[in-house]
Amino acid sequence: MTEHPNAALVRRLYEAFRTRDRTTLAALIADDAVWHVPGSTPISGTHRGSAAIFAYFQALGERSGGTFHAELVDAFGSDLHGVALATTTGQRAGRTYAGRYLLLMTIRRDRIAEAHLFNEDQTAFDAFWS
C-alpha cells in the first residue's frame, strides 16, 4: 500500500524542520498559512503568515538554547489533511521537557494552509515555555 501524498508531505515537513531547511519549509507552508499554538506562553497564540510561523520556529530554538527537538513518530494523510504524531524534547532555564503531541494540518494545493497543535500535557508545555 502506498503512502498518501499528504502523509508524505508531513514527513518532508519534519525532515526539513530537523535539518533547518528553510527552502523546503517555505515550499511546504503557504504564505498565508495560520499556525495555532495553545496555551498561555510567549510562544502560544495564532501565528498568521509564513513569516510569523518562521519566527515561531526560530523562537523555539532561541528560547531552548538550541535544544528543542521534534521527532515524527507517525504521519497520516487524507485528501484534505495531514496529521503528525510526534515527540518533542528540550531544555530551558534548568528545566527539561519531553512530551507528545498531534499536529493537525489542513492542506490545500500541496501546501500547509493551517495547523493546530494539540499537546498531550498542556500544563507541562505551558510550564516549560513560560
Domains of the chain: which residue ranges? 5-129
Instruction: Give the tens place of pLDDT for each residue, 85-122.
Output: 999 999 999 999 999 999 999 999 999 999 999 999 99
Look up the pTM and report it: 0.94
> CB-based burial of residue 45 (10 Å sphere; 0-12 exposed, 13-18 middle, 19+ buried)?
middle
Q: What's the confidence (pLDDT) of residue 8?
A: 98
Q: What's the confidence (pLDDT) of residue 122?
A: 97
CATH 3.40.190.10 holds for 5-129: no
Would the pLDDT of 123 be above 90?
A: yes
Would the pLDDT of 3 be above 90?
A: yes
Instruction: Give the tens place of pLDDT for each residue, 16-70.
Output: 999 999 999 999 999 999 999 999 999 999 999 999 999 999 999 999 999 999 9
Distance CA 117, CA 43 (A): 12
